[in-house]
Structure 1
Amino acid sequence: MNKNIKIILNYVIGPLVFCLLAWSIYHQLQRQPNWKESFRHIRHALTGPGIWKLWVAIILMLVNWGIEARKWQVVIRRIQPISFLQSWKAIFTGTTMAFFTPNRIGEYVGRILYIEDNKRIQAISLTIVCSIAQLLVTLLAGLGALLYMKNVIAAKQPADVSLLFWINALLWITALGTLILTLFYFRLAWLVKWIEKIPRIERFVRHIRVLDSFNATILLHILSLSVARYLVFIGQYYLLFAVFDVSLTPGQVFASIGVVFLVLAVVPTIAVITELGVRWKASIELVQFFSTNTWGVLATSLSVWVINLVIPALIGSLLILGIRIFRNR
């Protein structure tokens, strides 16, 4: 690549991403009709007795991304040793890039900026393993959450028959997707051999052969970290619901938010354009079975979005300022 183009990419892209991210966050908030009222509730909570719960939720954000950093460090050391701090930086940078892409696929681009140039394609295949593990946990938990919600709706007098139909359909689709994903996850070596048989892609196979090095022990370790991260997410919602006076039991939080996570996982969203709206809509529709505090649900969803996505994305955009996309001259 031309040297001048490399200089532009290395030293111009970072500030540009930061400015674009700041504008996009503002634009996303402006698209939500109730965001000012939600911020009013958040400001009120900052002076209330439950403020400590909000701070715990913020600390859990660091725990959340710390678990993800450890998970990525475990898989990426197959091709390159990386410190936990570097892994954490990569995670935050990936969060920034994910802000502009459907279902956060830009996360891969942000992470591989911390990997040597000639190993970046391999790094993408390894990062996909992390994503599959987290998606598998989301689907499994979503199945349990759907069954819980189905029982709640069926107990209503009269029960919503049309809603039960769609929940049953989603249950079968989720169960089938979970089964297929589980087979792929625990048969990565078989998947590589199958891909090798596909004509005209031989030159790409060498980049995914690293998946052969994963055994059941490593895959279960990655899966356990994904479970821990999922529980941190649920814990944040539980704390923030309490902050904004949405009275839910732990089981109700798990059921309603488990379905929200399932929806966010399967519905195409872009964090900067549609994710907050989908999160708000899904949360209101599901939590209303247990609470009528709509403003509290909106404030909780906005807080989670800001804590788990906006703050890490802003941190990542600052890290991008110091990254050289191309290390070689």
Structure 2
Amino acid sequence: MQSNGFVPQRTYSRTKKIVFWLKAGLLALIISYIIYTLNRQQHDFRSVWTYWQTANWFSVPAFLLLLLTPVNWLLEALKWQILVRRVEPISLKESTQGVLAGLAMGFALPAQLGDTAGRLLSLRSDQRWQGIGAALVSGGMQFFAAIFFGTIALFLQIQRETNGVPLAQWVLFLALVLTLLAGLVAGWQRHWFANSRFRWMRRWEKYWSVASYYTPTELWWAFGVASLRYLTFSLQFYIALALFGIRLPFRESLTGIGLVYLGKTIIPAFNLLSDLGVREATSLWVFGQWQVPAPQILSATLSLWLFNILTPVLAGLFWVWKLKLSNN
């Protein structure tokens, strides 16, 4: 009896170690690629710092970049408010507090554990476990929006290929289309999934059964807000590029930004300091086809990370501290 109880635990622990080392290896490759690209262009990180020092931080683009940061996270809070009301109706202020607390806790914790925990701790309901389902739907909507716009960006990239489209691009495009179709089917058949008789699905029923309670209107509203948020931080990316002197034709900018966020969505992050490194490496690879200097790209993407991630995290730390006090 004891051996049967410990075998799954060893297997789970071994799986966690494999995932950890795979992500660590991917992080090492990402950092190596960034350093290699800088060296190949005869630059280093001092060049990035030089661009940062010479940028006009009192210009209109810099002001807009900062102004859109609270808009970005207010939209995420609105999406969370729409979806969590099936568990507990909360105000937009409370939703914002939960989102920021989750962002701060997710800064270092693995996967989406920290983000979900921060949001759940801000709820007063006894049915907090159902909030996990709401958090999964919220994250799924943002993922779905990124895949949707990323598919459009990849299609634009395929159209601009003049020497034949690589097979990998067609395979990725097909996989993205199938993912979108699977998402639509899952939303359409959400009641069937919630009442499924498969034993392995019933095991997690209490967590995600709340998904079956959403009306089509609620789901479309949530997806609309997720899309608007995607367009918001895409506009921030465009502004950051302009701030550091990167001015490409609109079609190329649209394609590049969409591909970068697609890569950031499908490439697993180590979650060290959030997604720092993934967006940078992807941006170097995507915008490299237009011969954009690496220091300018890194300056733009690091600015996005500071504005959109680090600043809200510092604000979220206050709410994490407040949550701990209220739970003591």
Q: Normalising to structure 2: TM-score of the pair?
A: 0.81
Give, as a single letter, the amino acid of the residue that structure 2 aligns with 1:254.
L
- Alignment check: 8 A CA contact 2:244 2:299 kept: yes
CA shift digits 1:164-185 (9 cap, x unpaired): 2221121111111121122113
Give, as a single letter, the amino acid of the residue that structure 1 aligns with 2:78.
R
Alignment of 1:1-329 (within 5 A): 34-46=44-56, 51-116=59-124, 118-152=126-160, 154-155=161-162, 159=163, 164-194=166-196, 197-199=197-199, 202=202, 204-272=204-272, 275-324=275-324, 327=327
What is the CA–CA distance in structure 1 between the aligned matches of 2:293 and 2:129, rounded to whole Å? 47
- Alignment check: 8 A CA contact 2:107 2:271 kept: yes
Give, as a single letter, the amino acid of the residue that structure 1 aligns with 2:138.
C
CA shift digits 1:66-114 (9 cap, x unpaired): 0110110111111212111111111111111222245544211111110
The root-mean-square deviation of aligned C-alpha atoms, in Å, is 2.5
Structure 2 alignment gaps of length 5 or more: 1-27, 36-43
What is the CA–CA distance in structure 1 between the aligned matches of 2:111 and 2:177, rounded to whole Å? 21
- 1:218 aligned counterpart, secondary structure: helix
- 1:247 aligned counterpart, secondary structure: coil
- 1:246 aligned counterpart, secondary structure: coil
What is the CA–CA distance in structure 2 between the aligned matches of 1:312 and 1:279, rounded to whole Å? 18
- Alignment check: 8 A CA contact 2:87 2:128 kept: no
What is the CA–CA distance in structure 1 between the aligned matches of 2:111 and 2:188, rounded to whole Å? 23
What is the CA–CA distance in structure 2 between the aligned matches of 1:103 and 1:202, rounded to whole Å? 23
- Alignment check: 8 A CA contact 2:55 2:243 kept: yes
Structure 1 alignment gaps of length 5 or more: 1-27
What is the CA–CA distance in structure 1 between the aligned matches of 2:67 and 2:167, rounded to whole Å? 40
Give, as a single letter, the amino acid of the residue that structure 1 aligns with 2:259.
V
Give, as a single letter, the amino acid of the residue that structure 1 aligns with 2:312.
P
Match in the other structure for 2:40: none
Aligned length: 290
- Alignment check: 8 A CA contact 1:113 1:325 kept: no
CA shift digits 1:2-45 (9 cap, x unpaired): xxxxxxxxxxxxxxxxxxxxxxxxxx9x9975544323312211
Larger mean CA deviation between 70-79 and 202-211 belongs to: 202-211
Give, as a single letter, the amino acid of the residue that structure 2 aligns with 1:267.
I
- Alignment check: 8 A CA contact 1:247 1:291 kept: no
Question: Do the aligned partners of residues 200 and 144 (structure 1) sit closer, same or farther apart at CA in structure 2, a change above 3 Å counting?
Answer: closer
Q: What percent of counterpart residues are identical?
A: 23
Deviation at 1:187, TM superposition (A): 2.7
Q: Normalising to structure 1: TM-score of the pair?
A: 0.80
Question: Do the aligned partners of residues 294 and 213 (structure 1) sit closer, same or farther apart at CA in structure 2, a change above 3 Å counting?
Answer: same
Give, as a single letter, the amino acid of the residue that structure 2 aligns with 1:288.
G
Give, as a single letter, the amino acid of the residue that structure 1 aligns with 2:90.
I
Give, as a single letter, the amino acid of the residue that structure 2 aligns with 1:42.
W
What is the CA–CA distance in structure 2 between the aligned matches of 1:292 and 1:58, rounded to whole Å? 24
Question: Do the aligned partners of residues 35 and 90 (structure 1) sit closer, same or farther apart at CA in structure 2, a change above 3 Å counting?
Answer: farther
- Alignment check: 8 A CA contact 1:189 1:212 kept: yes
Deviation at 1:142, TM superposition (A): 0.9
CA shift digits 1:115-166 (9 cap, x unpaired): 12632211110111111111111111111111111222x22xxx3x6x7222
Give, as a single letter, the amino acid of the residue that structure 2 aligns with 1:210.
V
- Alignment check: 8 A CA contact 2:190 2:212 kept: yes
What is the CA–CA distance in structure 2 between the aligned matches of 1:78 and 1:184, rounded to whole Å? 19
- Alignment check: 8 A CA contact 2:141 2:223 kept: yes
CA shift digits 1:259-302 (9 cap, x unpaired): 11111111110342583222111101111223423221111111
